[in-house]
Amino acid sequence: MTLPIITERLILRRFTLDDIQDIIEIVSHPSVARITKNIEANEAGVKRFIDEQNTYQPFESNKYFYLAIERKEDGRVIGLLTLMCGEHKQGAIGWSIGINYRGKGYAAEGVKGLMKYSFSVLELHRIHATTSNINTASWKVMERVGMRKEAHLREAEFRDGEWIDVVIYAILAEEWQNQETFAKPVSEYDF
């Protein structure tokens, strides 16, 4: 398996210790902190996270493997992308984009790059993603990359003192392939 994954504007790669300050900035924002509880927003916590991630083989079964989303134009890490490969060729994908980089299509571009890699190189059969029903930006990314809504689970998680609904989106390899066959190319992928 080859990394990095390169798209039109992004490089999806393993983290290095040079990324610590960018990651602290990203995970310090409350909207990211509540979903990246495994990363403490300080130098020691981020170093532990990077060290642990670097012990994993890329896309090791049943482990959340994180990739840095690096912007080509300036080498800045602007977000995190994760994929957990499970049984039956299933994958769970997730992402967090820094507050200053949202609304520019980076999440969709990174997700598309990782999904293309996941279906063509890892040969996954299905990829799903979850979010809360109020995280409009996240489920719009899911729809933009061709995922379809499979479930709306009412009051499925207790977060920040309240019950929230969870939505699940997914796409099958065959659906991805059909979409890729007829889609206008958005980015160049290199892996």
What does the pLDDT look like over 22-35, one tens digit per residue? 999 999 988 887 77
Q: What is the pLDDT of residue 30?
A: 85
Residue-level pLDDT at 123: 96
- Going by C-alpha positions, the residue among 30, 78, 22, 31 that lies closest to residue 49 is 22
Assigned domain for 187 exists: no
How is residue 81 annotated by DSSP?
E
Q: What predicted TM-score, i.e. pTM, was given to this entire model?
A: 0.90
Residue-level length of the chain: 191
Question: Starting at the edge strand that comes first in sequence, how are the strands of the sheet with 162-172 ordered?
Answer: 5-6, 10-13, 65-71, 77-85, 90-97, 126-132, 162-172, 148-159
Q: Is residue 189 part of a domain?
A: no
Is the pLDDT confidence value at 10 over 90? yes
Residue indicated by tokens 């493997």? 65
CATH code, domain carrying 117: 3.40.630.30
d(CA 32, CA 62): 23
Instruction: Kindly state whether residue 109 falls inside one of the protein's structural domains.
Output: yes
Q: How many structural domains comprise the chain?
A: 1
- Counting residues of the chain whose pLDDT is more than 90, the rounded percentage is 80
Tell me: the pLDDT tens digits for 134-171?
889 999 999 999 999 999 999 999 888 899 999 999 99
Tokens of 96: 């967090």
Note whether residue 45 is domain-resident: yes
If one counts every other C-beta atom within 10 angstroms of the C-beta of residue 107, the result is 25
Residue 113's SS3 state is helix
Q: For position 184, what pLDDT does the model report?
A: 44
Q: Residue 39 belongs to what domain range?
A: 5-182
pLDDT attached to residue 188? 47
Give pLDDT, residue 190.
47
Is 191 a member of any domain? Answer: no
Number of other CB atoms surrounding residue 68 within 10 Å: 25
118 vs 188: which has the higher pLDDT? 118
How far is it, in rounded angstroms, from Cα 139 to Cα 86? 22
Buried b (16+ CB within 10 A) or exposed e, 127-155: bbbbbbeebeebbebbeebbbeeeeeeee
